[in-house]
Amino acid sequence: MSNQFGKSTWLTALLAGFFCAALASSANAQFGNFNQIGGIQIDPSGELSQTTELMQREYRQQVLDSLANIDARARQSADLRFVSLSALEAALNDAANGVELPDEIKFMAGIQRIQYVIVQPENGDILLGGPGEGWTVDAQGNVVGETTGRPVIHLEDFIVALRTADAANREYGISVSIDPTQEGQQRLRDLFRREGFDPSMKQRIEDAMGPQTISLTGLPTDSRMAQVLVAADYHMKRLAMGFEQPAIDGLPSVLHMAEERGKGFNQDPRFWMEPSYDAIQRSEDGNVWHISGPGAKALTENEATNGRGKDHPIAVRWAENMTENFAALADADPVFAELQNIMDLAVVAAMIRKHDLLGAAHLQVPTIAGDNDRIAMPKWSVPQTVSTQCSFIQIRNSWMVTASGGVQVDSWAVLENVEINDAVASVVTRVGESGDQAWWNAIN
């Protein structure tokens, strides 16, 4: 928002809260009816609100009660655990015939990131591999690793990623943005013109701005994958504004940084998150792919849009600090680990489509890919609005409140940086020696 209220006052508003959702329908029992992300509920109208501690405890117990006992072999931590796409396809076809999906399928054998994609034309299969272990439920109801506390990858997210990969390419990626409405901005300008500004006006400022709009592109808005993107975006804004403390040290809010330096902004800083990976490594024959890197980074508005404007140095430093600390933050905060998982899945899905890995593997997965309607995907409440929340810090003669932006997932752009490295093919031998599981193998 531009400065229209004189040199001593400039304001923007930040939506606040954190996000979760419950499935809107109990008809999709194949995937289970208990899923939540982060501690916010969405009502039938699409409005986000925080859950209470009591609600979180009750929800956690529901999730725990829904889980089956974990096979002893699946509980063992593994540096790499590989799952078979052909086996996942077969399990979904069984579910279409009324068979409940086992937890090992729903949570993809407890994998917590995807680091390898292996094409096996001799077996008509593709394997996805990453670190894995047994799973449990954390305090907010997230299904996480028993020892690491990192969220496991959900099969329904992989299905959505693969089904939307082509559309994500045509629409320049997947995105979420949370923004004030034009009407709300005008009401706020009118309020300040009439009455000026005072921090005691906090409630009136929030009322004037009204609900902010959540926009999602490139993927089904009623999917779990969409919920994760909204949760991560929301959480980033809350950290930037200082509405909640980060799970790690060394990540002060924008407002704290500005106060410490005694300098306000002359612009509205906007922050975005997008994929961040090292160069993808692949074998000479294209049958082994290795993915590494933090998964996401933070950018200012001009960096994200290749704009010609000049970002405020404090905004640039906050984004750099968020990027530098992202991997550690994801280790400590399940919301950002969930975002890593979504980024991984989006990149893997784009890889499968761009390089026709299904064709190379002589593998057909019509149920996973959505080429048939044998299985219905869970329908989540669609996030649409969130109430504005403001916070103020006085810096000299200015009062500042700020932060907006979103998440942009241009998964196809990640694949523009690929290097041939035949050393990655050595993992194939290790997979072949790794055990006798019917649909997943573990390497310690």
Amino acid 362: pLDDT: 97
Q: Which residues contact 65 (CB under 8 A, 6 or more apart)?
A: none
pTM beyond 0.75: the answer is yes
Show the beta-strand stretches assigned E in 85-236: 116-120, 125-132, 135-137, 143-145, 174-179, 212-217
287 CB-near residues (< 8 Å, 6+ apart): 118, 119, 120, 121, 360, 425, 428
Strand partners, 179: 213
pLDDT at site 307: 60
pLDDT for 389 = 78
Question: What pLDDT does 214 receive?
Answer: 92
What residues does 143 pair with on adjacent strands? 137
Quick one: pLDDT at residue 124? 95
Record the tokens describing residue 101, joined without a space: 């999906």
Beta-carbon contacts of 402 under 8 Å, excluding residues fewer than 6 positions away, are 12, 14, 240, 241, 254, 255, 265, 268, 269
User: How would DSSP label each residue in 349-397?
Assistant: HHHHHHTTHHHHTT---HHHHTSS-SSPPP-BPPP-EE-EE---EEETT
CB contact at 8 A, 312 and 269: yes
Task: Kindly give the confidence (pLDDT) of every residue in the chain, 444 residues in length, as a single tens digit, with 9 standing for 90 and above.
Answer: 333 323 222 222 332 322 222 222 333 446 765 556 766 777 788 888 777 788 888 888 888 888 888 888 888 899 999 999 999 999 999 988 888 889 999 999 999 999 999 999 999 999 999 999 999 999 888 999 999 999 999 999 999 999 999 988 876 679 998 888 899 889 988 988 898 877 788 888 889 889 989 999 999 999 999 999 998 998 898 888 888 899 999 999 888 888 777 665 555 678 899 999 999 999 999 999 999 999 999 998 777 766 655 677 888 899 999 999 999 999 999 999 999 999 999 999 999 999 999 999 999 999 999 998 888 888 888 999 988 877 666 655 555 554 566 888 999 999 999 999 999 999 998 887 655 566 888 777
Query: Residue 382: CB partners within 8 Å, gap ≥ 6?
Result: 42, 46, 221, 222, 226
pLDDT at 17: 29
Amino acid 21: pLDDT: 26
Question: Exposed (0-12), middle (13-18) or buried (19+): which is 180, by Cβ within 10 Å?
Answer: buried
End-to-end Cα distance, the chain: 53
